Structure 1
Amino acid sequence: MANDTRAARLENLWDDGKATGMSESELLLYRSNLLGSDKRITNYGGGNTSAKVMEKDPLTGEEVEVLWVKGSGGDVGTIKMDGFATLYMDKLNALKGLYRGLEHEDEMVGYLPHCTFNLNARAASIDTPLHAYVPKKHVDHMHPDAIIAIAASVDSQVLTQEIFGGEIGWLPWKRPGYELGLWLGRFCEENPDARGVILESHGLFTWGDTAKESYETTLEIINKAMDWLDTRIDGPVFGGPKVKTLPAEERRAIAEKLMPKIRGMISETEGKLGHFDDQPAVLEFVGSNRLNELAALGTSCPDHFLRTKIRPLVVDFDPENPDIDKTVAGLPDAIAAYRKDYAAYYERCKHANSPTMRDPNAVIYLVPGVGMISFAKDKATARISAEFYVNAINVMRGASSVSAYQGLSEQEAFDIEYWLLEEAKLQRMPKPKPLAGRIALVTGGAGGIGKATAFRLASEGACVVLADIDDAALEIATAELSSVFSKDIVRGVHLNVTDEAEVAKGFADSVVEFGGLDILVSNAGLASSAPVEETTLALWEKNISILATGYFLVSREAFRLFRYQNAGGNVVFVSSKNGLAASPGASAYCTAKAAEIHLARCLALEGAEAQIRVNTVNPDAVLRGSKIWTGEWKEQRAAAYKMSTDELEAHYRDRSMLKRSVYPEDIAEAIYFLASDMSAKSTGNIINVDAGNAVSFPR
């Protein structure tokens, strides 16, 4: 922030050409998306925007004033028209007569649905009165790092006056709600020339008579704060560096060691997903002299706090003498101490009607010389929590350089974290999907069965790593899954299952992306067909290398990680009917597939005591979508059965007991069953998905 050049200031992106002809509500959407496109203006999900628009009442046909305001839980950067709540302004003003005072302000939220215009189902947020009672048509509420650095300073009021004079006012800390809305309204009445107000430890309100004026005022005020901070911050920040920053490769290696260990310790009640961040702002903070002091103060802005908890956990690691084994050995005590401290905080601050204590584990883990690790119930939340803490770092950087940084008081922090309205919002959240919080790695992930499996697991909430040797197909498959689900939950890694070093690297990359591993689907494969006297040694070794050695290598790496993580694990082999029943002209393939099945049995025995389950799915004749049928295998199998390739699908269907074709999605369904808790008490088992084939009955 302090090192930004003039070119790095917020750019006015308003395009009159685009805005011409837009309605007031469309201009609100346009303005909101522009503001939310830059994280220096507001973080994901933070802040809100509004416009007071004249609309035709659907009952009376009369023109009425309607407040359009970002709905509860929305994000201004990605919001669409249906993301705004709409409320009658006359009814919102009438609520003032129902207000019974500060002790009863939460009940005012219950009146907001009665103010709804045009049966809009979008729930209004707690900040609705703050927008309603500002007597301006367009209002922006943002959380810019530069502004919050001033708002979170001990000298916040004095600094606001020094920087902005009378054009921007200042209000002391007040939890968002109805009372703060009344405060804002009074401030505007008493200061009619003000263009906005800074809320202590919170953020910025600005306004204008038009959407464009409001947008440009917001940018102008933030840029002015950034300029002022630049002139005041000179020399080392955070007390200067205390420890060195390790090279990028070493930082990732340390994260790879820490993330699964931490994840295993904090995932007792629900699965957690991790995120690693080592951007310059983070490294500057975690390597500084004031790291422990400032981290202990917690965050200031309510949005920061709700995402990152009362304070982070600073991991005991010395990059000057990096002993990762010592750090890992100390993690259990450090995590237990954090939980104890959190429980004590809860007991000190709870009220008679407070919700029960939630997860006492830290969200943010700061590692000197390495970076920041965050854990949450899903990958997106872990990533966003990290983004919020970067915002907090930027705030501490500015505030501690020009004044003294102050976080929220412990009681205020608790009252926000355990706010009954926040608890009600949490209770309305949908029930987690069966594989929420779990991480799956699928080898052969770009092929038919692999991709179908990844889709099935992701649809049930899992994060998925697609591992494949075919980079072009991998890129396509990763893009397909990302478009259906999100970029947060899908990763692709190049992985040759026969290369020991590549397997290790692929798993390591997956760990740093998501924090660990829960499910391995060993699916990489090939198919070959030749009479034994025509089977070359090279063909034999290729089958054994991919289908036996490859399955061994990825299983060994998974077992090592599962045991290190100490939270159990799940391995599903994709073998074949040919592993149980011989086929003519495919001795190399059948032998390697039989080896897979027996390896799975051995691993089931070895893994049971560590709650590592190993099961096998045996497909047969999966022609559609399967990559192995696009090469010579199809011709070879047709030749073996003395028929044309066009007859193969019907041949396999008709020879089955159920007379049905088998598709990749059918295999994926069996894999999902074995990977889920529906089969929690099954290991060492085989499920045939072959439409019925008596010669391959397991017993």
Structure 2
Amino acid sequence: MKSAWVERDAQVTVAHYAKAGIAPDLALRVYTTRLLGRDPKLVLHGGGNTSVKMRLRDLNGDDTEVLCVKGSGWDMGNIEPAGLPAVRLENLRKLRMRDALSDEDMVKVQRANLIDPTSPNPSVETLLHTFLPHTFIDHTHSTAVLGIVDQPNSRDLCEEIYNGRMGFVRYVMPGFGLAKEAGEVFDKNPKVEGLILDKHGIFTFGDDARQAYERMIDMVTLAEERLRKNRKSVFVTAQLPQSAGALSEIAPILRGAVALPDAKIEGAWKRLVFDFRTSDAIRNFVDGADVQRYARVGVITPDHTIRTKNWPMIVPAPDGGKLADFKQAAKIAAGEFIDHYKAYFARNNDRAGGTKTMLDPAPRVILVPGLGLFGLGRSKKAAKVAADLAEAAVEGITDAEAIGRFSPIGEEDMFDMEYWSLEQAKLGGAKEPPLAGQIAVITGGAGAIGFATAKAFAAAGAEVALLDLDGDAAQDKAKAIDGAALGLPCDVTDDASVRAAFDMIAETFGGVDIVVSNAGGAWQGRIGEVNDETLRKSFELNFFSHQRVAQNAVRIMLAQGTGGCLLFNTSKQAINPGPNFGPYGLPKAATLFLARQYALDYGADGIRANAVNADRIRSGLLNEEMIASRAQARGLSEKDYMSGNLLQREVTADDVAQAFLHQALALKTTADVTTVDGGNIAAALR
């Protein structure tokens, strides 16, 4: 591992923050924290922490010695000075004289000593930074170091590697106890350059930012060099089927297997979003004949347990020609995982006094021999975090097995960490949005109604995929929603294009739960004078495309076995045809009945089908030119034309989006047609 310190960049950082009155030491603390946080071999997703001791003026104007330490919730890779809240050092140092301090009291004391009371909570390892005398202190969960400390003889290995340059701290759960233990280890040998925390990670320190940072690089490099020494081959490959099958077929099967019925809401499911990873290293790991042993021992560092659970779900290798058998095997594996987790919780909760409430028992990592691994989460972001940590585990466990035998913390310690109140606080207690864990597909996604619908569903917690004939526009709209949204080119009049798009969505997110079939085009003409070519083109886009989209959605929904929701944009023309709009209205009327047919045929599978009839929505179909033309033909102003309904209000794309969202949330509504037109008696269904 090489140092990423660049002197010019460091000075630019100092100069930049000086304009805001930030002292050089704090600016350099930000600089090196980012260097550490941007290297995934050192830090992943909020792990690790850093600190600097300095003097600041408090709110009373008094010069005060403080510790600026990483705040909970901040990511080291993009930290700002505000992410290093300052706490009074003198008061915190006094805590070392205590024999015990509860986690809750520790947090209270730390908050009580914040210089700025609006700052985030200081790191749970603040006291460890406090009890060490150094100006700069760095802490990471280096994958290489974990490969060393996750061994039965970790102390001996560290003495061999570091030859007295690093202190060795036995495993203690983070908090006051670990801080005191680390302080005592340092006091026995104040010349050490850092501390190795058994089964946990590494601390280094120094008099300046560069020294602490480059000591981290040096010590991690020594671990890497040891891992390359006397390394043995690992993971003999198991005998596997010749072909695992397509990822787009495997993912929905697994996603359905791990979904849990919502005990509070009939018809609802607790679904998970997937993130797939594969590589030579991952395949070497998951394809191993002994994978059940080394993959299920535990986590490479306790910090991972709240995001990945303590072991992955492992399924039998799929055979692409026998997916029905694999579906049954996946259900059995999921049931065994959940039963195992419940038993683990029960026996450890008894030990803890029965005070804990069990978390969601579904897995957060799935290993699939012959294919790769999936990270799982209630959002794509959470799934990516789980997948990143799973990849780090693959590397760490592989390293450990290559020089010895992977031996992390035991079950009781893992439970104490997983159900530690301070770790749980990292995940936040905010109420989940209503569509969390669900995947929504919107065709015509770059248009006015499609984009408004995609935004509404994303705001409700769904992961969204926008399909549009203009793939670049779909991608631009997806980027405008959030980093997880997917924009894809798709010609809904082409079978292969639609199937390819749905397969890509299944590969990206794991499956499909909601489809808004929205793409359409408005052909006009007096029906007795319209040629067959025009009518067939309109039917192809305004009817057959909806059937094509629905078929592909149902294909995936049935593989998942957790129901789903089909939503169709049918327009008021389906009920109330307008003059010279027959080529548009006729296929729309057929699509309305298509929705009802899906409701009839797939209701027993939990798949709902509903339609929205909207009128006079500014969009690609009803553009400014058409609005002007139709208003003039009726002798109305454009405003009066657009608000020509019972409520005398213009209806917008956002109104249509909210109607689709309502239908998606109405778990006991199917074969419904919702009218969104401001009131048009001629188009009313009842």
- TM-score where L is the length of structure 2: 0.92
Kindly tell me: are residues 244 and 231 of structure 1, through their superposed partners in 2, closer, same or farther at Cα, counting changes over 3 Å? farther
Asked whether the equivalents of residues 375 and 390 of structure 2 are also in contact (C-alpha less than 8 Å), the reply is no
How far residue 339 of structure 1 moved from its aligned partner, in angstroms, is 1.7
Asked whether the equivalents of residues 152 and 405 of structure 2 are also in contact (C-alpha less than 8 Å), the reply is yes
1:327-406 to structure 2, matched below 5 A, reads 327-350=326-349, 351-406=352-407
Asked whether the equivalents of residues 146 and 201 of structure 2 are also in contact (C-alpha less than 8 Å), the reply is yes
The 2-side partners of 1:253 and 1:237 are apart by 30
- 1:558 counterpart residue number: 553
Asked whether the equivalents of residues 622 and 664 of structure 1 are also in contact (C-alpha less than 8 Å), the reply is yes
- 2:234 counterpart residue number: 237
Kindly tell me: are residues 527 and 105 of structure 1, through their superposed partners in 2, closer, same or farther at Cα, counting changes over 3 Å? closer
- SS of 1:372's partner is strand
- 2:266 counterpart residue number: none
Amino acid at match of 2:438: R
- SS of 1:231's partner is coil
- 2:462 counterpart residue number: 462
Greater shift, 342-351 or 429-438, is seen at 342-351
The 1-side partners of 2:108 and 2:630 are apart by 73
The 2-side partners of 1:416 and 1:616 are apart by 48
Asked whether the equivalents of residues 135 and 185 of structure 1 are also in contact (C-alpha less than 8 Å), the reply is no
Work out whether 1:578 is the aligned partner of 2:577: no
Kindly tell me: are residues 528 and 651 of structure 1, through their superposed partners in 2, closer, same or farther at Cα, counting changes over 3 Å? farther
Asked whether the equivalents of residues 615 and 674 of structure 1 are also in contact (C-alpha less than 8 Å), the reply is yes
How far residue 353 of structure 1 moved from its aligned partner, in angstroms, is 4.4
Asked whether the equivalents of residues 13 and 34 of structure 1 are also in contact (C-alpha less than 8 Å), the reply is no
Asked whether the equivalents of residues 106 and 177 of structure 1 are also in contact (C-alpha less than 8 Å), the reply is no
Asked whether the equivalents of residues 10 and 31 of structure 2 are also in contact (C-alpha less than 8 Å), the reply is no
Asked whether the equivalents of residues 453 and 654 of structure 2 are also in contact (C-alpha less than 8 Å), the reply is yes
The 1-side partners of 2:504 and 2:214 are apart by 43
Work out whether 1:271 is the aligned partner of 2:264: no
Give structure 2 stretches of 5+ with no counterpart: 18-22, 264-268
1:164-179 to structure 2, matched below 5 A, reads 164-179=162-177
Asked whether the equivalents of residues 287 and 370 of structure 2 are also in contact (C-alpha less than 8 Å), the reply is yes
- SS of 1:516's partner is coil
Work out whether 1:628 is the aligned partner of 2:621: yes
How far residue 245 of structure 1 moved from its aligned partner, in angstroms, is 9.6
The 2-side partners of 1:266 and 1:403 are apart by 42
The 1-side partners of 2:669 and 2:321 are apart by 42
How far residue 511 of structure 1 moved from its aligned partner, in angstroms, is 1.5
Greater shift, 500-509 or 407-416, is seen at 500-509
- 1:159 counterpart residue number: 157
Asked whether the equivalents of residues 12 and 219 of structure 1 are also in contact (C-alpha less than 8 Å), the reply is no
- 1:45 counterpart residue number: 46
The 2-side partners of 1:13 and 1:601 are apart by 65
Asked whether the equivalents of residues 452 and 654 of structure 2 are also in contact (C-alpha less than 8 Å), the reply is yes
| Residue of 670, 676, 679 corresponding to 1:692 | 679
How far residue 526 of structure 1 moved from its aligned partner, in angstroms, is 0.9
Kindly tell me: are residues 115 and 243 of structure 1, through their superposed partners in 2, closer, same or farther at Cα, counting changes over 3 Å? farther
How far residue 606 of structure 1 moved from its aligned partner, in angstroms, is 2.1
Asked whether the equivalents of residues 274 and 515 of structure 1 are also in contact (C-alpha less than 8 Å), the reply is yes
Give structure 1 stretches of 5+ with no counterpart: 1-7
How far residue 199 of structure 1 moved from its aligned partner, in angstroms, is 0.6
The C-alpha deviation readout for 1:535-568, integer Å capped at 9, x for no partner, is 2322211110011001111112222322322212
- SS of 1:627's partner is coil
How far residue 279 of structure 1 moved from its aligned partner, in angstroms, is 2.8
1:299-698 to structure 2, matched below 5 A, reads 299-317=299-317, 323-350=322-349, 351-423=352-424, 429-482=429-482, 487-488=483-484, 490-623=485-618, 626-630=619-623, 635=625, 643=633, 649-676=638-665, 679-698=666-685
Asked whether the equivalents of residues 612 and 660 of structure 2 are also in contact (C-alpha less than 8 Å), the reply is yes
The percent of aligned pairs where both chains have the same amino acid is 30
| Residue of 174, 178, 181 corresponding to 2:179 | 181
- 1:123 counterpart residue number: 121
- 2:20 counterpart residue number: none
How far residue 108 of structure 1 moved from its aligned partner, in angstroms, is 2.6
Greater shift, 266-275 or 448-457, is seen at 266-275
- 1:206 counterpart residue number: 204
How far residue 430 of structure 1 moved from its aligned partner, in angstroms, is 0.7
- TM-score where L is the length of structure 1: 0.91
Greater shift, 578-587 or 500-509, is seen at 500-509
The 2-side partners of 1:18 and 1:609 are apart by 64
Greater shift, 664-673 or 216-225, is seen at 216-225
- 1:218 counterpart residue number: 216
| Residue of 190, 193, 203 corresponding to 1:192 | 190
The 2-side partners of 1:194 and 1:251 are apart by 53
How far residue 322 of structure 1 moved from its aligned partner, in angstroms, is 6.1
Amino acid at match of 2:322: D
The 2-side partners of 1:337 and 1:458 are apart by 33
Asked whether the equivalents of residues 260 and 511 of structure 1 are also in contact (C-alpha less than 8 Å), the reply is no
Asked whether the equivalents of residues 186 and 192 of structure 2 are also in contact (C-alpha less than 8 Å), the reply is yes
The C-alpha deviation readout for 1:346-397, integer Å capped at 9, x for no partner, is 2222211431222222221111110012222222111101111111111111
The 2-side partners of 1:325 and 1:159 are apart by 48
The 2-side partners of 1:20 and 1:386 are apart by 35
Asked whether the equivalents of residues 584 and 640 of structure 1 are also in contact (C-alpha less than 8 Å), the reply is no
The 2-side partners of 1:182 and 1:169 are apart by 14
- SS of 2:520's partner is coil
How far residue 110 of structure 1 moved from its aligned partner, in angstroms, is 3.0
The 2-side partners of 1:541 and 1:146 are apart by 63
Kindly tell me: are residues 691 and 208 of structure 1, through their superposed partners in 2, closer, same or farther at Cα, counting changes over 3 Å? same
Kindly tell me: are residues 282 and 173 of structure 1, through their superposed partners in 2, closer, same or farther at Cα, counting changes over 3 Å? same
Amino acid at match of 1:326: D
- SS of 1:300's partner is coil
Amino acid at match of 1:84: L
How far residue 491 of structure 1 moved from its aligned partner, in angstroms, is 0.8
| Residue of 12, 15, 24 corresponding to 1:18 | 12
- 2:74 counterpart residue number: 74
Kindly tell me: are residues 180 and 642 of structure 1, through their superposed partners in 2, closer, same or farther at Cα, counting changes over 3 Å? closer
The 1-side partners of 2:355 and 2:129 are apart by 28
The C-alpha deviation readout for 1:477-521, integer Å capped at 9, x for no partner, is 112112xxxx12x11122222222222222221112112222111
Asked whether the equivalents of residues 266 and 361 of structure 1 are also in contact (C-alpha less than 8 Å), the reply is no
How far residue 250 of structure 1 moved from its aligned partner, in angstroms, is 4.5
- Output the aligned Cα RMSD: 2.4
The 1-side partners of 2:52 and 2:242 are apart by 49
Amino acid at match of 1:56: R
The 1-side partners of 2:212 and 2:626 are apart by 70
Asked whether the equivalents of residues 152 and 405 of structure 1 are also in contact (C-alpha less than 8 Å), the reply is yes
- 1:35 counterpart residue number: 36
- SS of 1:436's partner is coil
The 2-side partners of 1:206 and 1:256 are apart by 42
- 1:3 counterpart residue number: none
The C-alpha deviation readout for 1:243-276, integer Å capped at 9, x for no partner, is 56978x9552453353333244577762321111
How far residue 581 of structure 1 moved from its aligned partner, in angstroms, is 0.9
The 1-side partners of 2:321 and 2:402 are apart by 30
Kindly tell me: are residues 363 and 332 of structure 1, through their superposed partners in 2, closer, same or farther at Cα, counting changes over 3 Å? same
Amino acid at match of 2:100: G
Amino acid at match of 1:658: L
Amino acid at match of 2:685: P
Asked whether the equivalents of residues 354 and 418 of structure 1 are also in contact (C-alpha less than 8 Å), the reply is no
Kindly tell me: are residues 242 and 276 of structure 1, through their superposed partners in 2, closer, same or farther at Cα, counting changes over 3 Å? same
- SS of 2:77's partner is coil
Kindly tell me: are residues 266 and 312 of structure 1, through their superposed partners in 2, closer, same or farther at Cα, counting changes over 3 Å? farther
